[in-house]
Structure 1
Amino acid sequence: MSNLLVINSSLNAASGNSSKLTQTYISTLQTSQSVAVTTRNLYASDLGHLDATEMEAWMTEPDARTEKQAELAAISDTLIQEVQDADEIVIGVPMYNFGIPSALKAWIDRIARAGITFRYTENGPQGLLENKQVTILAARGGQYAGTPMDTQTEYLKHFFAFIGITDIRFVYAEGLAMGDEQASKAFETANEKIVELTSVNVD
């Protein structure tokens, strides 16, 4: 049995288009594989922006932390453990103002920990998370893939490679705000891609 970590980052919770894509991915995968699913709904997590106090808690030795520092460090520790335990990470990513949701950035900031998910060497940074796969399910009102306005794809590729994950796939549902016909076609195309990707994985 493989472990699947699902990250939803839409402000619209389960009704968000990217959240619908993650649910489709899960249900499609489960038709052919036995998977244990852990879901992290960032819209309900209230992570907030990373600040100096929380970062200081990470940098303090565990046995020297105050009670408050221990609580703050535990937030990141929990999120990192979820990633470490996962064989595949599936992330629903809407596009807000040409970027990723701030909740997703807050999650990213807490799983990038020096000495835990990456380290610096004399040859530069080295990612410490290996043998994992990331699938990005991107939902967008307009059509941006392959253009300079797609600021998400390369950013997410670079980030996950930085922490050691280079097997990253993308599914795009674009033009969702460009009329019902276009939205229907976009979901159809995305769902076909999901079927293709989930059929490649073998338990």
Structure 2
Amino acid sequence: MSQVLVIESSARKQGSVSRELTAQFIAQWRAAHPGDTITVRDLAVDQVPHLDMDLLGGWMTPADQQSDAEKAALARSNTLTNELLAADVLVLAAPMYNFTIPSTLKSWLDHVLRAGVTFKYTDTGPQGLLTGKRAFVLTSRGGIYAGSSADHQEPYLRQALAFVGIHEVSFIHAEGLNLGGEFLEKGLNQAKSQLAQVA
């Protein structure tokens, strides 16, 4: 029995392709793994603030010296990090906004990439502490970017996940969605076809 953590980051509640892909993933995963637990965190509904002084203070200030704001920021970071620590499978739904990930997803990463918790520094450099997990990244893109220098999503997310020890990462891109006609249909169908093989 596995724990699956799904992170939604689309700002759109209706008409979102990344949410459509997530719904398909969850349905297929539940059918194939009925005993698994799936937790969905929707960053459009339960927004995570940007990295700020309160969070830095919560991480770095001794507990008995923390302000109320620092304690609240640390508690929020702990909640998000504990969800990730408990997960065996991570699913990131990431529409492309201005060539990269939504700022809401970046904020989530800023809360869970934590020295001494999800990675540590060693004499030979940083070492990820989340080994043994696997991740799926479901993207939606208006144009066609995979493999090009304009794709700042996949390289960044691969590096961020590898930094915490998650190296088994599969990307499923729905591309060309704003190009209309056959591009839209082809991009969506290819992504759904790949998804059908995941579970």
1:130 equivalent in structure 2: 131
1:50 equivalent in structure 2: 51
Total equivalences in the alignment: 198
Contact 2:7–2:91 (Cα < 8 Å) also in 1 = yes
Aligned amino acid, residue 157 of structure 2:
L
1:30 equivalent in structure 2: 30
Structure 1 residues 121 and 99, CA, compared in 2 at 3 Å: closer, same or farther? same
Contact 2:54–2:69 (Cα < 8 Å) also in 1 = no
1:201 equivalent in structure 2: none
Q: Distance in 1 between matches of 2:24 and 2:12?
A: 17
Instruction: Give the number of the structure whose residues are more often helix, by fraction.
Output: 1
Structure 2 unaligned segments of length 5 or more: list them. Answer: none
Deviation at 1:114, TM superposition (A): 0.7
Structure 1 unaligned segments of length 5 or more: list them. Answer: 199-203
Deviation at 1:131, TM superposition (A): 0.9
Contact 2:177–2:183 (Cα < 8 Å) also in 1 = yes
Same amino acid, percent of matched pairs: 40
Q: Distance in 2 between matches of 1:165 and 1:62?
A: 30
Deviation at 1:107, TM superposition (A): 0.4
Deviation at 1:78, TM superposition (A): 0.5
Q: Distance in 2 between matches of 1:63 and 1:3?
A: 34
TM-score, normalised to structure 2's length? 0.95
2:113 is equivalent to residue 112 of structure 1: yes
SS for the counterpart of 1:15 is coil
TM-score, normalised to structure 1's length? 0.93
Aligned amino acid, residue 149 of structure 1:
A
Contact 1:14–1:20 (Cα < 8 Å) also in 2 = no
1:9 equivalent in structure 2: 9
1:173 equivalent in structure 2: 174
User: Which has the higher mean CA deviation after the structures are superposed, 185-194 or 102-111?
Assistant: 185-194
1:148 equivalent in structure 2: 149
Q: Distance in 1 between matches of 2:59 and 2:67?
A: 11
Runs of 4+, deviation exceeding 2 Å: 61-68
Deviation at 1:101, TM superposition (A): 0.3
